[in-house]
């Protein structure tokens, strides 16, 4: 019901602030478990589809293609940055992807609070 809008959910008897808090905690736990189990690069699998939707990929086929391309580009960019930022030492690509993903989800959180 929340995806239909706050007013719609409230009119149907949903305690919107409590529901948002519970969903936020649930999403944070899912992201933490995914990152812990699969590593920071696995976080890219959570990040790319959201970025594809923000780039106006509305249909499932478009989202899949754009997500794959974004994931590949992000991982290549993170790997390149990791190799070149502190040459001759290297920074793991997963660490850079985690910073990008964490920043992205903080941006989404702030954007969600404004609306």
List of residues 6+ apart from 6 with CB closer than 8 A: 16
Contact at 8 Å (CB) between 82 and 93? Answer: yes
**29-43: average pLDDT:** 77
Query: Each residue of 55-80: pLDDT tens digit?
Result: 888 888 999 999 999 888 888 888 89
From CA 41, how far away is CA 22, in angstroms rounded? Answer: 26
Tokens of residue 54, six digits? 């923000």
Tokens of residue 79, six digits? 């790997």
Tokens of residue 7, six digits? 């007013």
Domain extent listing, the chain: 1-38, 40-115
Name the more confident of 12 and 111. Answer: 12
Position 107 confidence tier, pLDDT thresholds 50, 70, 90: confident
Note if the pTM is more than 0.85.
Answer: no
Position 105 confidence tier, pLDDT thresholds 50, 70, 90: confident
């Amino acid at each position: 019901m929340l995806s239909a809008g706050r007013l719609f959910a409230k009119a149907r008897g949903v305690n919107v602030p409590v529901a948002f808090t519970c969903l936020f905690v649930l999403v944070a736990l899912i992201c933490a478990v995914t990152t812990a189990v699969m590593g920071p690069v696995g976080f890219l699998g959570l990040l790319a589809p959201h970025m594809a939707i923000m780039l106006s990929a509305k249909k499932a086929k478009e989202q899949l293609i754009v997500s794959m391309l974004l994931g590949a580009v992000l991982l290549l960019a993170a790997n390149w940055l990791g190799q070149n930022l502190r040459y001759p030492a290297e920074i793991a690509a997963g660490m850079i992807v985690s910073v990008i993903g964490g920043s992205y989800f903080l941006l989404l959180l702030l954007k969600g609070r404004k609306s």
